[in-house]
Amino acid sequence: MSVPRRNIMWFRRDLRIGDNPALLAAIESSDEVIPLFILDKAQIAEAGDKLLAYMGQSLRALDQSLGNKLHIIEGDQVEVLRELIDLYKVNEVHISDEYERYGAARDTRVESAGINLIRTGSPYAVKPGRVLKPSDATPYRVYTPFYRAWLTHGFRAPAKTPSKINAPIPPDKFRAFPDFPTPPGVQIIAAGEKAALERFKVFSKSGLDQYDENRNFAGIDDTSKMSTYLKFGEIHPRTLLANLGQSKAHDTFRKEIAWREFYADVLFNNPNTDTDYYAPRFSEMRYDKPGAQFKAWCEGKTGYPFVDAAMRQLVLEGWMHNRTRMVVASFLVKDLHLEWQLGERFFADHLVDYDVASNAHGWQWTAGCGTDASPYYRVFNPIEQGKRFDENGDYIRKYVPELVHLAAAEIHEPWLYLDGYSKGYCERIVDHSLERLESLARLQEIKADKPEPPR
């Protein structure tokens, strides 16, 4: 009796069975696939509680879709893979390629140990490093020309979903699912490939055709919420792009997917910018030391209702509306004069959709030191942003109960009304109009004769 050909499918940022080219490659070249997830102690130690809780639920969902045959264990990747290769007489280890520093270094270490990794696909529609300027074959440093070139490059249609996955029953040792409880009082979205597809189906029917108009309004549920599913690979961007049309709303949604791919490309080509300044001269700016004001920002007690609602949403749900991410980031850097890395780390501790490239470069863009020719002059007014994108105050009332009694005309500036502080809301920790001027004055100290051009 012949020994069946066996391959390992090593899941990482692709916790799905549909539109997964690496899984298909593993199936097509074997009789049996050993689906595997290795819990990484170092990554677990750095991850926030909400993200870990979500990941635990996502792994359970993946296991269910695999007929409860997911092999899962905590350990060193080389040691785990070697043990399974020996146990099952494995020929190949199939993976979806990764491009961030940690993942790329891990895979290099595994290959250096003599383990044959077969790379198929990536977490992106177009993998980082692929889109280059036609003039000199260098990477793009500004989003808009990148987007045009990304569209011209194009992307494949979604891969098929396997009809059957032959997998052995895992030994008890390899059923070590983690116990990552959801923190008390926290409300995170449903995890897993099925939840991702269902959410996108609902969004496609109810929100996609008005996405260009409604995506900025924090008080209505008209964003796709795909960021968390993309982070864990429960859905692939190809699936989201496949049926988009040419309307303004559909193109706006397409551009949001491209922003994720642009930031991945920027980080791939500038690997230290997850923590370092993309525009180095901004490291020379005068910043304040974190203290009571930083604590107030973290707790949603700045006295600016739109900012506080957003920060409380983050702590409660592990997610924040994209418009308010920009507002709170601007407030930290330009009203409180603190370095963007402080906010980036706080987001990393709380975001369920934490993505190193999108988080770091989203922060740098808003902070004024990222991929933009002259961004530091863009200072978000936390009052006007609230009035514009939460006109009736519904978003604020949802997360700031101290202001629920105020009318729409009052809720964005409670300090102007006798009843504004009657329910215990905090006073403003800074005066935005003054801090905006201070922020621009600090820029002048490091500013050349003209803004740093796109590189």
CATH code of 124-157+193-269, in short, is: 1.25.40.80
Could you tell me the residue ranges of all domains in the chain? 6-122, 124-157+193-269, 274-446
Q: What is the pLDDT of residue 377?
A: 78
Q: b/e for 318-345, b at 16 or more Cβ within 10 A? A: bbbbebbbbbbbbbbbbbbbbbbbbbbe
pLDDT confidence bin for 219, thresholds 50/70/90: confident
CATH classification for the domain delimited by 274-446, as one of 1.10.579.10, 3.90.1150.10, 2.60.40.3670, 3.40.190.10:
1.10.579.10
What are the residues whose beta carbons fall under 8 Å from the beta carbon of 105, sequence distance 6 or more?
Answer: none
- Structure confidence by residue, pLDDT tens digits, 20-66: 999 999 999 999 999 999 999 999 999 999 999 999 999 999 999 99
Residue 452 confidence (pLDDT) above 70: no
Q: What is the pLDDT of residue 1?
A: 53
Contact 259, 240 (CB under 8 A): no
| Ranges assigned E (strand) in 196-279 | none
- Structure confidence by residue, pLDDT tens digits, 332-344: 999 999 999 999 9
Distances in whole angstroms, Cα of residue 173 to Cα of each of 52, 63, 71: 21, 15, 9
Neighbour tally for 114: CB within 10 Å: 9
Contact 300, 311 (CB under 8 A): yes
Beta bridge partners of 35: 9
Residue 450 confidence (pLDDT) above 50: no
**Of 428, 402, 404, which is closest to residue 415 (Cα–Cα)?**
428
3-state SS assignment for residue 251 = helix
Percent above pLDDT 70 for the chain: 97
**H or E segment at 41?**
helix 41-46
Give the chain's mean pLDDT. 94
Q: How many whole angstroms separate alpha carbon 17 and alpha carbon 23?
A: 7
The domain defined by 6-122 folds into: Rossmann fold (3.40.50)
Q: How many whole angstroms separate alpha carbon 296 and alpha carbon 303?
A: 9
* Phi, psi angle pair for 319, to nearest 5°: -155, 155
Contact 99, 93 (CB under 8 A): no
